[in-house]
Chains A and B, each alone.
Chain A
């Protein structure tokens, strides 16, 4: 029998039992839909995080006390501005080094208030991280050395305190202390779940006085090039270790952050997709079951076809194609469902989704494979049916 003919026969058989075919497909539709939706959402989230980490600036090296490993307790920082001099000597270019001391504080202007992530920083911050100003100017060297009470507001903070008015030159109070606004940042949105528009930058020296401490939380370095970044990190860590023998330090590159986050997300997506895959498997068992019922119901038809010259192979192929058609049609519908779900989630929730061609190709391939795997047994049974017995069946 010609293969085109076999497809037609299979399609006719499915059409003859429309409701049953649809219900059988449903298992595959849901399974494939779930896989496609979850993989799309996982991929979208991963891409978003990558973009955000890359958005921090290239060749970034973050130095923090303690070990960067899952489950390790946070370490109280022993770092002070003295350590900045040490690091500057190692790096050789102070404009590549930034520090931070952060604290959540309430910022007020008149009757308005906003909760902000206050960051005590150096004037070097814009050249280490990617931070663009919307209005005004950034902190200067003098602001830092004199501990001047000036502030640069994130777009979110500026918006909730001043609305559409220009905040430059106006007063705000941070933890009850008055600061003068000298600039605002461009809108950034979320990064790694943190609202970066709620940051307020003030000189590190002013922040230390406000918090009554001389510590800093950590340092960030923009390495001159990618090849020496790990080496530079090691040198910085060694220098700091020498100054603080009791504390471990870690230098983490952007790639490492990406790697760890990617791994976590990959595992998460994989686990979810595997769970969805199980439902696809259940759908496959349903197909197998219905095909066995179909073989039994159509015993007479099989006997007749054999009587007029169908070989065991012809009958087997016919039933296998029927199973494959069931699952591939189910697969295509499932893809549509998965894409639809991903788009809706993308639109209506902060979770992003990215539909990738390989996920679709995989879903289609898997559904066809499910058809073949779960169609083989019924098909073989049909092919081997004794024509005499089949014809005598009433």
Chain B
């Protein structure tokens, strides 16, 4: 795992080496002239080998926070450092690059390209990194093997089960070798057995040194994380370090 130099981190909050640092971050949506405060001042640090579970009622701001942590969105106020870089100072293009190099996303609804094979779906992030076709395919195949889908390389999403699709999505999130994996309700569309196997996969990835931030409704799942964060109405109401 590699981290960019953190030249501007001297006076920045958080310890050097933290993957993501959010300080008093807010996010207010403007909807037809009405302000919707989805996040009202959240501080959170994700360190390189963290395993953070976020729980909270629907609408409490979990997804909004995940989008910020992943550099898909910018805070309305507050400071957000991803891989040591202040997102307020980045252009959309630089943000895209940061996402590509540092973050892996896993979504509740998989978000696979429908007419594209598992291998090409997994290879997609490498396309935007300028990796050649052959190397892309090799790395995508290796990653699919890693998530137990060596036999599904040329299958399209509609030829796979939900659990398999989510594994493809995880392989896609991992193929660039990110330092943080952000999973927003990754088991929300899966039955419990399949969901368990996906979680086991995430845990083993974390054991290998990838930071994992996971949004879940399942208390048992949250209980297996290193830290549990509870959100309500756009605020973190409790953060508990758990015994491993």
Contacts and interface: CB of A to CB of B under 8 A. Distances in A.
Given A16-B115, A387-B72, A388-B72, A306 B96 contact: yes
Contacts, number: 66
Given A312-B92, A391-B72, A304 B111 contact: yes
Given A1-B130, A308-B100, A301 B105 contact: no
A231 B26 CA distance: 90
Contacts of A12: 115
B118 to A, nearest CB: 15
Contacts of A300: 111
B82 to A, nearest CB: 13
A87 to B, nearest CB: 81
Interface string A355-394: 0000000000000000000000000000000111001001
Contacts of B115: 12, 16
Q: How large is the interface on B (under 10, 10 to 19, 20 to 34, 35 or more residues)?
A: 20 to 34
B84 interface: no
A149 interface: no
Contact of B93 (A9, A301, A307, A311): A311
Contacts of A311: 92-93, 96-97, 128
Contacts of A387: 72-73
A310 interface: yes
Given A16-B115, A391-B111, A307 B127 contact: no
A307 B105 contact: yes
B128 A314 contact: yes
A303 B176 CA distance: 18
B84 to A, nearest CB: 18
A235 B176 CA distance: 88
Contacts of A313: 93
A394 B105 CA distance: 18
B67 interface: yes
Contacts of B93: 311-313
Q: How large is the interface on A (under 10, 10 to 19, 20 to 34, 35 or more residues)?
A: 20 to 34
A165 interface: no
Given A304-B111, A388-B72, A391-B111, A309 B96 contact: yes
A2 interface: yes
Nearest to B132: A2
B113 interface: yes
Interface in A286-344: 300-301, 303-314
Interface in B101-131: 101, 105, 107, 109, 111, 113, 115, 124-125, 127-130
Contacts of A388: 67, 72-73
Q: Which of A1, A303, A308, A388 has the most CB of B within 10 A?
A: A308
Nearest to A298: B113
A307 B70 contact: yes
A227 interface: no
Contacts of B67: 388
Contact of B128 (A303, A309, A386): A309
Contacts of A306: 72, 96, 99
A14 to B, nearest CB: 12
Interface string B49-92: 00000000000000000010010110000000000000000001
B167 interface: no
Given A1-B128, A308-B172, A387-B73, 13 more contacts: A2-B127, A12-B115, A16-B115, A303-B111, A304-B124, A307-B70, A307-B99, A308-B105, A310-B128, A311-B97, A314-B128, A391-B72, A391-B107
28 contacts: A1-B127, A1-B128, A2-B127, A301-B113, A304-B113, A304-B124, A305-B124, A306-B96, A307-B70, A307-B99, A307-B111, A308-B172, A309-B99, A309-B100, A309-B125, A309-B128, A309-B129, A309-B176, A310-B128, A311-B97, A311-B128, A312-B92, A312-B93, A314-B96, A387-B72, A391-B72, A391-B107, A394-B109
Interface of A: 1-2, 5, 9, 12, 16, 300-301, 303-314, 386-388, 391, 394
